[in-house]
Chain A
Amino acid sequence: MTLNSTLYVLRETGHSMKRNPWLSIASVLTVMVSLVILGFSVFFLANASNMAKSFESQLEIATFVQSSATPAQVQALQSQIKTMPGVASVTLVTKEQALVDFGKTMGGSQSSLVTDLGGTNPFPDKLTVKATDPKTVEALANKVSALAGVDKVRYGQGYVDKLLEFTQWLRWIGLGVVVAFGIAAIVLISINVKMNVFSRRREIQIMKLVGASNSFVRWPFLIEGLALGLVGGALAAGIVGVGYNWITNYVQSTLTFLPVVQNMLLFRQVTVGLLLVGMAMGAIGSGVSLQKFLRNS
């Protein structure tokens, strides 16, 4: 492909886009919609898994020590759990501390509280165990509860699984929607290109009769498809970029407790990714129509 052919091709591409602007617009918009959904899905999933992680990291096993245990035994238990694999940290909340904490939430003095509670401190000593990997919480809890001196353990059973299951579902639904729209976009682009090929069939026939190669005939249409996809991708990248920025700012100022992903690298990857996927859709769309057309001409 020489420079001259390239210039020729670009000129032809411009002509053909002018020929049916509405179909071009429809193609661009479908590409855009499918990629906007794709972009937001990626960000949504990134946030969902980030959220899952941060919730998971707060997951801890509350280990209640038998009330008969002496402080020395409690401390021995603490160091024993600390050496178990998969344990990130173990902190001791003594029964006295528990009472103080409880008193703080209730208001009033400590001594009157003990009296109110019938003269004895009802709280057991508690060891708060944090796991390094949220997936091992359940196994770890079972092991800890089997240790001598442990009364019972409590942890967010099933909570992790549900969250993971939910993000898994989201992933599939997002993928399904994106694929559906992606196919629609490819079909529209291929109709677009096919109509242009059809409206220029005479020209193409003459081109081939004076010795144009298939690839020379094919280029303008391929580039047209690529351009449609690229424009759709660029619009989508813009919408997703601006939209996500707006949403994160909004969430951070109103729902401050929600962790939000603001990762420049991810941001750039998604933007570039949308452009590339848009172009790929364009190329596939025009490739499909051209393959059929040029084979039997």
Chain B
Amino acid sequence: MIQMKNVSKIYLNGARALVDVNLKIDKGEFVFLVGPSGAGKSTIIKLFYRDETPTRGQVQINGKNLVRMKDREVPYLRRSIGVIFQDFKLLPNKTVFENVAFALEVIGVSKSEVKTRTRVTLDLVGLAGKEKSFPHELSGGEQQRVCVARAIINNPALLVADEPTGNLDPETAWGIMDLLYNINKRGTTVVMATHARNIVDKMQKRVIAIESGRVARDEEKGGYGYDA
């Protein structure tokens, strides 16, 4: 599913975010990316949906080489990847319904199909009844769920999440994790960067630890690992 070979990333300002990273993630896996702040977790995730390109090395998703990929192919890559952003990236002047439907409108799905699929997805994330609300009228957890709904509405083969529980109370955070767990059960590969120790420890999934831009640890059914 995902393959990174000798990937290094140096940002324009000279920051060395990744150093010679090698990774392989299979279809259907659930993977946590952990590590201290500034380690390079977000950078890895951005490489997946080609928000960034590596300075050296290769990134492959579903056999597609993202380095050699032409700009006009990028939209198609992104349609096959759902992204949950830490800052939600919702449009403030659009309702919950419109924000989620957006991901379908953008790719030209018919109006009636947009309607039914958006309904179903909002139901799935527990936002039925909030369709007409605007983002600023929602709690942080509800906004995060809108973001999840938008990320999964296309039935992506890969779901990447950058600290999706970052600003949420434990109970709401577990609600989001439930969602991701179920989506993964349906066959979607999930990669999630997080600092949430208890979540990582409890889920018993593969854990990849990044430190100073390098893979420091990679274990099946791992724990968060760092001392509190």
Residues on A facing B (Cβ under 8 Å): 1-2, 4-5, 7-8, 202-203, 205-214, 216
Contacts and interface: CB of A to CB of B under 8 A. Distances in A.
Contacts of B224: none
B103 A211 contact: yes
B51 A209 contact: yes
Contact of B78 (A2, A7, A209): A209
B102 A207 contact: yes
13 contacts: A4-B105, A5-B105, A8-B105, A203-B91, A206-B89, A209-B51, A210-B79, A211-B76, A211-B103, A211-B107, A212-B107, A213-B75, A216-B106
- Which of B77, B102, B109, B150 is packed against the most chain A CB atoms within 10 Å? B102
Interface string B108-133: 11110010000000000000000000
Contacts, number: 54
Contact of A214 (B72, B79, B102, B111): B72
A210 B76 CA distance: 10
B207 interface: no
Nearest to B88: A206
Contacts of A205: 89
Contacts of A213: 72, 75
A204 to B, nearest CB: 11
- Which of A5, A205, A210 is packed against the most chain B CB atoms within 10 Å? A210
B18 interface: no
B110 A4 contact: yes
Interface in B46-74: 49, 51, 71-72
A20 to B, nearest CB: 15
A124 B142 CA distance: 108
B108 A5 contact: yes
B108 A211 contact: no
A107 B89 CA distance: 98
A12 to B, nearest CB: 10
A125 B89 CA distance: 97
A202 B103 CA distance: 15
A208 B154 CA distance: 15
